[in-house]
Amino acid sequence: MLLFLLLKLLMSLKYTGSVMMENEFYDVELDDMSTSSCSMSSFPHIVSPEGKGQLLVHEGALYYMDRARKGRCDSMRRTIATVLLTILVLVLLTSALLLATRKLLVPQQHFGPPEKINVIDFRRAEEEYILDPMWDYTAPPTVREYNFAISNIIGKPDGVYRPLIAINKQFPGPLIECNEGDVVRILVDNQSVNATSLHFHGIYQNGTNWMDGTSGVTQCPIAPGRTFQYVFNITGQSGTYYYHGHQGVQASDGLFGPLIVHSRRERIEEAAKHSSDRVIMVQDHYHDSSDALLLQAMRPGHEGAPTPVGALINGRNTRDCSRFSKRLCDNSSISHATFDLDRNAAHRLRFINVGALAYFHVSLDAHSFTIVEADGTDLVPITESRLLIAPSQRYSLILQPDQISQRSFWLRARMMTHCWGDNPAEATEEDGEVKAIVRYKAPSEISRHAGKRIEQIPVSKAIPRNLMENCLDMTNLTPAHWTPFPNTASKTYYLESNIAIGDWRLERGYFNASSFRPNITSPTLHRVLTGLHHDTYKETFAANGVNDKFFNPANELVIQHPKTEVVDIIIHNSDEQSHPIHLHGHKFFILGSGHTLFPGYEALGLSSTTKSFLPGYEANFQNVMSRDVATLQNFGWLAIRVVFDNPGAWAFHCHISWHSEKGLGMVFLSKTDEMRGWEIPAANKALCAASMEDLERGMPPSDVLWEGDLETDGATE
């Protein structure tokens, strides 16, 4: 009996066999979860290096174990195994009689056949992204409550299993829907292994800057095991927005979802009547977690952003598993995202680019459509057959069903791979394009088939491409409602943006000489209020412009204004990649953009001294487009005019996540006179009480990691 127990213990340490998932068997190595120091409860990071992570099973979900931990666990197991083997050999030598009862040594009944593992249903139903057709636009202002439990799961968005960050165990995140004037309240319970925060992209947060969700700027991140409630009012804006993680590149792991704000007058003022309204999120997709990719992207000698392996629409794609032989892949139960539309009505499609890198070119075979909204700004409708959408931008289209008899069409979202700078040639057609199906049906058929995944593969052909496409914004956009354009600006700030190799051959993002490093244990906003409240720092907060007394511009460029200020920001791009530039808490007016160098104020029709429009150019400034993300094109310029009238510390950064994590960001500090009366709410302060180790989980590695390291991927110079 003793021998049997010893042997069982030894064998339980590692089991190589097969697991069944969704009726398919896979060869995997399963570790015993009862080995305490190697169990999920002490699991620090989920990293899945190229097919070399070890799979673990915990509470019905599959997990990868990272290489370092696996090594430590393996080493511990080897030690235990050696001791046990020694005992076993001694016992064997002195217990020859037991050898006769060989069956005792092969207790197969305990190890096979493999038990079925229920991989949780991680995929959020497509129907959840259809807006409520019975929505009450005139409901009294109300509090919209949400509970988000954030956790790590394994899912297979395109067939390939990978670690994901889920909200309420599903991917992508749930829809937040509200009316203008409502209060949104989201209780975030961080059950994941990394610290996190949620940013509500494009929401003004007027008076609630500490709810902006920017780790290191407006808050300490929510450490693992902690909760935090985001509460904010939505005033003076409506349209299509979204929320996403703002710690590291967590959005790329699945931490995002749509946020739709209905205007009270949405149905009265809409440019084209439509019978349905839905969200379509496009994103570039990676098979590795952002932890692993960031580590790789930040190391010495590494240039450019990680190249996506494909793309998703509303979290779905279906890939050929034979192309990913090193990966655990199962595409048997996946279909393309499918949109069932009433043939006799018009439909609003709200596109959001939730990706980390790629600009998308979107088209629907045999169709043109009307663009009616960009980043929450209603537009004078324009008819187009293609849509260009940069990371974090949003566009609403109105689709009128075609008059031909075909029932289904491909909706194509193609990553503009040639804009990545480095090796786009490797990306194949299949890698670059993700498709969804648009099916026309009678209303009765739509309700009958809702939720069922019966695919009718379209035979439609793609609209021919333009030969020359660049990563630019669509420029023919005009706001539908007049917004007063400030005819003068008090200042102009010139920024040079660059992604450059610096010390220790580390590639960093720069605005002028500054590469932003968020201080996650002491966010900018918290330090500003400490400074504003103490006379000692009075002098250091006297600036009306760059504050280089209180902040170190080398890693935290802060431009501050004591009162409301209208300023122009002109950025030159020294880089071969376009940057979608985003300002938190504001929309800004687009004065112009172009290739090469900024041509000067006069070329835009503005006086270079007063910055007012020149005689004869008034018409150019009657209805200037405003939005919250605009493209600074490769080797080009972007000029914007901002009314900084929203008190707080607002991040201004490139929305290519890899670039912003490399430091392409800074902070605008607005209306500091008003901020002087602020106090950081206790719940926000409490977040900073977590240990530094916990707060830093999920952050990009510090440069210190590589100091003195002159090697690159094993090669030396």
Q: Which residues bind Cu ion (CB under 5 A)?
A: 579, 654, 656, 659
Question: Which two tokens mark 575?
Answer: 């880089």
* b/e per residue 512-543 (b: at least 16 CB within 10 A): eebbbbbbbeebbbbbbbebbeeeebeeebeb
Please give the distance of CA 404 from its chain centroid, rounded to a whole number: 38
Question: Which two tokens mark 246?
Answer: 């703002």
Alpha carbons within 13 angstroms on the beta-carbon side of residue 142 total: 13
Minimum gap (Å) between residue 357 Cβ and Cu ion: 9
Q: How far is CA 611 from CA 12, 188, 260, 605, in A?
A: 75, 45, 36, 9
Q: Which is nearer to Cu ion, 660 or 672 (CB)?
A: 660
List of E strands, 526-673: 545-546, 558-561, 565-573, 579-583, 588-595, 626-627, 629-632, 636-644, 648-654, 665-670
Question: Which two tokens mark 481?
Answer: 């409602």
Minimum gap (Å) between residue 22 Cβ and Cu ion: 39
Tokens 């431009």 sit at which residue?
559
C-beta separation of 579 from 640 below 8 A:
no
DSSP code of 538? Answer: T
Minimum gap (Å) between residue 574 Cβ and Cu ion: 12
Report the 10 Å Cβ neighbour count for 134: 4
Question: Which two tokens mark 311?
Answer: 């793309």
Q: Which is nearer to Cu ion, 192 or 417 (CB)?
A: 417
Q: Which is nearer to Cu ion, 170 or 515 (CB)?
A: 515
Report the 10 Å Cβ neighbour count for 684: 18
Minimum gap (Å) between residue 659 Cβ and Cu ion: 3
Minimum gap (Å) between residue 252 Cβ and Cu ion: 14
Task: Determine the straight-line distance between the first and last CA of the chain, rounded to whole angstroms.
Answer: 61
Minimum gap (Å) between residue 160 Cβ and Cu ion: 27
Q: Which is nearer to Cu ion, 583 or 654 (CB)?
A: 654
Q: Which is nearer to Cu ion, 308 or 648 (CB)?
A: 308
Minimum gap (Å) between residue 575 Cβ and Cu ion: 8
Q: Which residue from 500, 480, 495 is spatially nearest to 398, judged by alpha carbons?
A: 480
Report the 10 Å Cβ neighbour count for 455: 13
H helices present in 508-593, as ranges? 524-533
Minimum gap (Å) between residue 654 Cβ and Cu ion: 3
Please give the distance of CA 247 from its chain centroid, rounded to a whole number: 10
Question: Which two tokens mark 166?
Answer: 């889920």
Q: Which is nearer to Cu ion, 234 or 656 (CB)?
A: 656
Whole-number Å distance between alpha carbons of 338 and 440: 11
Q: Which is nearer to Cu ion, 203 or 656 (CB)?
A: 656
Strand partners, 408: 439
Q: Which is nearer to Cu ion, 159 or 580 (CB)?
A: 580
Minimum gap (Å) between residue 359 Cβ and Cu ion: 11
* b/e per residue 389-428 (b: at least 16 CB within 10 A): bbbbbbbbbbbebbeeeeebbbbbbbbbbebbeeeeeebe
Secondary structure (3-state) at 362? strand
Minimum gap (Å) between residue 361 Cβ and Cu ion: 18
Whole-number Å distance between alpha carbons of 529 and 279: 39
Whole-number Å distance between alpha carbons of 119 and 170: 12
C-beta separation of 279 from 397 below 8 A:
no
Minimum gap (Å) between residue 519 Cβ and Cu ion: 22
Whole-number Å distance between alpha carbons of 484 and 592: 17
Q: Which is nearer to Cu ion, 373 or 661 (CB)?
A: 661
Strand partners, 491: 567
Minimum gap (Å) between residue 273 Cβ and Cu ion: 38
Whole-number Å distance between alpha carbons of 104 and 210: 64
Minimum gap (Å) between residue 489 Cβ and Cu ion: 25
Q: What angle do CA 190, 195, 200 make, to 5 degrees?
A: 75
Q: Which is nearer to Cu ion, 193 or 654 (CB)?
A: 654
Secondary structure (3-state) at 215? strand
Minimum gap (Å) between residue 580 Cβ and Cu ion: 7
Minimum gap (Å) between residue 475 Cβ and Cu ion: 19
Q: Which is nearer to Cu ion, 397 or 571 (CB)?
A: 571
Q: How far is CA 271 from CA 30, 237, 378, 479, 534, in A?
A: 57, 17, 9, 12, 52
Write out 398-435 in H/E/C secondary structure: EECCCCCCCCEEEEEEEECHHHHCCCHHHCCHHHHEEE
Q: Which is nearer to Cu ion, 408 or 657 (CB)?
A: 657
Q: Which is nearer to Cu ion, 353 or 460 (CB)?
A: 353
Minimum gap (Å) between residue 588 Cβ and Cu ion: 17
Minimum gap (Å) between residue 617 Cβ and Cu ion: 31
Q: Which is nearer to Cu ion, 656 or 687 (CB)?
A: 656
Q: Which residue from 213, 198, 199, 217 is spatially nearest to 651, judged by alpha carbons?
A: 217
Q: Which is nearer to Cu ion, 119 or 654 (CB)?
A: 654
Q: Which is nearer to Cu ion, 363 or 497 (CB)?
A: 497
Q: Which is nearer to Cu ion, 357 or 436 (CB)?
A: 357
Pairing of strands 256-262, 239-245: antiparallel
Concatenate the DSSP letters of all residues of 262-314 into one string. E-TTHHHH-SS--SEEEEEEEEEE-SS-HHHHHHHHHSTT--SPPPPSEEEET
DSSP code of 60? Answer: T
